[in-house]
Structure 1
Amino acid sequence: MQIRVLVAIFTIFTFIMLFVLIRNYSDAMNLYTIPDVMPYNLLDDNSTDSVVSSGASWIEKLSMQSDVAYIYPASEMQVRLLSDANIQKEGSSIFRVSVGVIDDYQFFCINQVFMSHKIQYSYYKVGDNIWLVVSTKDEKYLKQVLDELARYEISYTMTKS
């Protein structure tokens, strides 16, 4: 008899707790509202109508623009190529330098080091490995410059072409 009373009290207590929890949960869900977020437009609504309505080419539309709309961060691409005429004219030697797999920061550091020492170079990629083709008259000077890359955790191997 006592066990039945305790089981009944426990069951009633459990149902009351569940009812309170479910009711509080449903009340909390009714209070939550999704915020209204406006979509981001690069162009004003008025300017999109004028661009669509005019039959001008994209070059004409670009030349008619008075303000410049830049979107940052902008991608930057540099391409450097050594020509045979420049190499032969200077009497330089060609060295191939493999720097392996590097990230964008390390590639930036290589560009800055070579530009600061005014060393002409070009680069190409084989798989994930970056190869530099360097034109210089002094091999020892090139090795000193390449040893500076150790500060940026860039290892290299150099061969003469």
Structure 2
Amino acid sequence: MIIEFKLNGEDVKVETGLAMRLLDVIRNDFGLTGTKEGCAEGECGACIVFLDGMIVNSCMVPMNNVMGKEVVTIEGFSRTERYKKIEKAFMEEGAVQCGFCTPGMVMATEGLLRLGISLTEEDIKKGLSGNICRCTGYEAIYRAVRKLTQEAVLND
């Protein structure tokens, strides 16, 4: 079946099965490898994308749920000024090591920041709880998100 949707701002079509996972289509059909498979169970956050503005684990989204919607991957988000601010905070706080989890962590951070509220420490930890990092440790990532909230990134 032909599935039509918007991918990183462009209208696209792909011939695929309705039950095929969005993760596989993003990687295999469009070559966007920033979205990664970690657990294939929606538990690690390595495959986070925005689907109509909401963060989702693309390994859990069948293509029949994508028809006519907008998908933004890390590659699309990385073209924005907000991405650059998140990237800078992650680098300054040492929140990046091997990089495997980083795209998902960045997307989850943006999803959290989009809430537009004053984030508490508990909000930050809960908001990133669906993401696994095996190298850096979470404290540096939490520091980066705290820094972003203190710098009023939400106001751009």
TM-score above 0.5:
no
TM-score bracket, shorter-length normalisation = under 0.3
Higher helix share: 1
TM-score (norm 2): 0.27
* Rg larger for: 1
